[in-house]
Amino acid sequence: MRSLILLGLVGLAAQLVDGSLGMAYGVTSTTLLLAIGTNAAAASATVHLAEIGTTLASGISHWRFGNVDWKVVAKIGVPGAIGAFAGATFLSSLSTELAAPIMSVILLTLGVYILIRFTAFGLPRGNLGKPLRKRFLGPLGLVAGFVDATGGGGWGPVGTPAILASGRIPPRKVIGSIDASEFLVAIAASVGFLVGIGSENINFAWVGVLLLGGVIAAPIAAWLVRHIPPRILGSAVGGVIILTNVRTLLRSDWIDAPGNVQAIAYVLIALLWVGAIVYSVREYRRDKANESVEAVDSELDRQEEPTPA
């Protein structure tokens, strides 16, 4: 019972992050399932089945708050579904011993990317209003969908920063569109896993509590996306993902590191993580201060303009 409650809380927290940041529900939830010994394909299948409900709830919530660009959803969602089905089929064909470390490497890479991307660069805002082309969104969706299924998460970490980097639509619409289109990806990946590993390897009680937590959090996250600094949240989530998956790899048969080596690695990662959060907070405050100064200067310039005769 305790494990189910914890999974429900993880689903709630992961969806709060995902709905506010446009990524990390799958990565966070899969990381936890791997940490408690679930095999790679079953972990990814469990998360994707739960995501059918959470992404639907999240997409509806973002739509109601005006955070969705349906042209982007259509252009990236279908290729993403194709990539996800292919990725689920591929992961299902791997042995458990090989799949777990591979998934941890993928998750670790995504965690490093999230930490660096949001700590060092924040959110780009140039080129607003320019259209996103299908020749960009199609291949992006295909790759992001494949990574999402094989890594147990990755739709957001691959898709959100790529679209944000274009600077062509507002960040809140990037996040809302990615969350809405993930519904198609979750369905395709789930079908792929059910075909590949069958339903007997999936704990549907776990699916249910992850889904419940995510559905509760979805409307809250859609509202919070306008208020929580994504830069700080990205740094915090990236550190969690890195620390957890480094732990999995150091204890795997691939590395099997001695206890003192593991302890040193954890301390170094924790120091890096804290430093990243502190830096993100400082940069966020500096950006807000600069925005306030620019707003005041703009208002003064407006007031000094001569009144037409």
pLDDT reported for residue 104: 72
In this structure, how many other beta carbons lie within 10 angstroms of the beta carbon of residue 186? Answer: 28
What distance in Å separates the CA atoms of residue 101 and residue 258, rounded to the nearest whole number? 18
pLDDT at residue 24, rounded to an integer: 67
Query: Which tens digits make up the pLDDT trace of 80-131?
Result: 999 989 888 887 776 656 666 776 777 788 778 878 877 887 665 555 556 6
Taking only the tens place, the pLDDT of each residue in 280-293 is 999 888 888 877 77
Examine the pLDDT at 19 and tell me if it is beyond 70: no
Structure tokens at 45: 């299948």
Higher pLDDT, 227 or 75: 75
Total residues belonging to the chain: 309
- pLDDT at position 225 is 60
How confident is the model over 149-207, as pLDDT tens digits?
Answer: 877 677 877 777 677 666 677 767 887 888 888 889 889 988 888 887 776 666 777 77
Residue with tokens 């930490």: 115
Looking at residue 167, its pLDDT comes to 62
In order of 96, 108, 109, 177, 201, the CA distances from 71 in angstroms are: 39, 32, 30, 9, 37
pLDDT for residue 272: 92
Q: Within 10 Å of residue 300's Cβ, how many Cβ atoms?
A: 9
pLDDT at 133: 75
Higher-pLDDT residue of 146, 297 = 146
The rounded distance, in Å, linking the Cα atoms of 75 and 86 is 18
User: Tokens 């394909």 correspond to what residue?
Assistant: 41
Closest CA to 223 of 15, 53, 29: 15
Q: What's the confidence (pLDDT) of residue 275? A: 94
Q: Give the residue, 207 or 270, on which the prediction is more confident.
A: 270
pLDDT exceeds cutoff 60 at 303: yes
Take residue 28 and report the two structure tokens written for it. 């966070």
CB atoms within 10 A of CB 65: 15
Range name among 47-51, 86-90, 259-263 with the lowest pLDDT average:
47-51
Do residues 62 and 200 touch, judged by C-beta distance below 8 A?
no
Q: What SS3 class is residue 38?
A: coil
Please give the residue that has the higher pLDDT: either 131 or 273.
273
